[in-house]
């Protein structure tokens, strides 16, 4: 009887040890998968600025910005990959002068009645080790799409002090020719080369597992 009891006890302990081992392996696998998963960030419109500058009659630099933006950023530095989808509301153009803003919205320039958004979609993210330094992609403006290369001049990530949310901030710049997108009005007076600069703030979107945590 004692022999049978000891045998049953050993089998029970072995079964428990096996189950515990399986649970531990599953937990480690889930943790590894979570660590390896790309980080998804949603652009925060209130802290993101899209600005432009252009030569005016060869004497001054005129500047403006767009007040409404949105988009999503996916970063996977370990695999040197990711994606960016950035949308600008062209109707929100603002140069500080209403008459000029109405002209920029007109058919001669952005033609926002027909093309209310400007969109950039990445085709390649460029990393120096695990630091993002550039983005290649397609810019669509006035229903014309052209390849554009963006330079990431600054990228800082951390936690927002108040909320504890994980976020990143970046300074990005590039230059385009407006004539490449069919904006040919008054090229002798208003420069063809447009400098674009973006100050982007984005916060990480919690994964399904993280969203359920207290």
CATH of the domain at 93: 2.40.128.110
Work out the pLDDT band at 37, boundaries 50, 70, 90: confident
In a domain, 13, yes or no: yes
Total of domains in the chain: 2
pLDDT of res. 100: 97
pLDDT at 189: 96
pLDDT band at 207 (very low <50, low <70, confident <90, very high): confident
Query: Among all chains, which residue has been given the structure tokens 């399986």?
Result: 22
In a domain, 62, yes or no: yes
Backbone φ, ψ for residue 19 (5° rounding): -60, -45
Is 213 a member of any domain? no
Predicted TM-score of the model (pTM): 0.81
Residues 29 and 87 in one domain: no
Token pair for residue 211?
Answer: 């969203």
* pLDDT (average), residues 126-145: 96
**pLDDT tens-place string over residues 96-120:** 999 999 999 999 999 999 999 999 9
Q: Looking at the structure, do residues 129 and 164 belong to the same domain, yes or no? A: yes
Residue numbers of the domain that contains 1: 1-36
Answer yes or no: do 178 and 202 share one domain. Answer: yes
Evaluate whether residue 195 is within a structural domain.
Answer: yes
Q: Say if residue 63 is in the same domain as residue 152.
A: yes
Strand ranges for the chain from DSSP E: 39-43, 49-56, 60-66, 69-76, 81-89, 93-94, 117-128, 131-141, 144-159, 166-177, 190-204
At 63-73, the pLDDT tens digits run 999 999 999 99
Asked if residue 135 is part of any domain, the answer here is: yes
Over the chain, what is the mean pLDDT? 87
CA-nearest of 104, 41, 109 to 67 is: 104
Kindly state the average pLDDT of the residues 139-162: 97
Q: What is the pLDDT of residue 7?
A: 56
Q: Distance between CA atoms of 210 and 199, rounded to whole angstroms?
A: 28
Task: Please give the helix or strand (H or E) that residue 29 lies within, else none.
Answer: helix 2-36
**Same domain as 104, residue 174:** yes
Nearest 5 degrees, angle CA 57-CA 143-CA 118? 70
Same domain, 79 and 150: yes
Are 157 and 85 within one domain? yes
Under 8 Å between Cβ of 213 and 191: no
Co-location of 12 and 116 in the same domain:
no
Same domain for 18 and 107 = no
Span of 16-25, 62-71, 81-90 with lowest mean pLDDT: 16-25
Residue 24, pLDDT above cutoff 50? no
In a domain, 190, yes or no: yes
Residues 63 and 73 in one domain: yes
Beta strands in 14-110 (DSSP E): 39-43, 49-56, 60-66, 69-76, 81-89, 93-94
Residue 30's pLDDT is what? 39
Are residues 179 and 90 part of one domain? Answer: yes
Specify the range with the lowest mean pLDDT, choosing from 56-65, 123-132, 204-213. 204-213
Same domain? 66 vs 12: no
Whole-number Cα distances in Å, 10 to 5, 13, 14, 24, 203: 9, 5, 6, 21, 52
């Amino acid at each position: 009887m004692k022999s049978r009891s000891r045998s049953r006890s050993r089998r029970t302990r072995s079964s428990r040890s096996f189950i515990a081992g399986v649970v531990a392996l599953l937990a480690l696998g889930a943790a590894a998968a979570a660590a390896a998963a790309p980080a998804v960030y949603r652009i925060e419109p209130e802290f993101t600025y899209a600005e432009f500058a252009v030569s005016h009659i060869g004497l001054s630099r005129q500047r403006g910005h767009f007040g409404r933006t949105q988009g999503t950023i996916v970063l996977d530095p370990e695999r040197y990959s990711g994606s960016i989808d950035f949308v600008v509301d062209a109707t929100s153009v603002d140069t500080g002068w209403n008459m000029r803003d109405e002209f920029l919205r007109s058919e001669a320039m952005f033609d926002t009645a027909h093309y209310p958004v400007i969109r950039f979609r990445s085709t390649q993210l460029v990393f120096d080790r695990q630091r993002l330094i550039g983005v290649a992609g397609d810019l669509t403006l006035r229903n014309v799409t052209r390849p554009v290369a963006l330079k990431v001049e600054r990228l800082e990530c951390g936690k927002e002090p108040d909320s504890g949310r994980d976020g990143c901030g970046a300074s990005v710049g590039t230059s385009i020719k407006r004539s490449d997108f069919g904006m040919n009005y008054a090229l002798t007076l208003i420069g063809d080369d447009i400098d674009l600069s973006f100050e982007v703030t984005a916060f990480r979107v919690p994964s399904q597992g993280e969203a359920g945590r207290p």
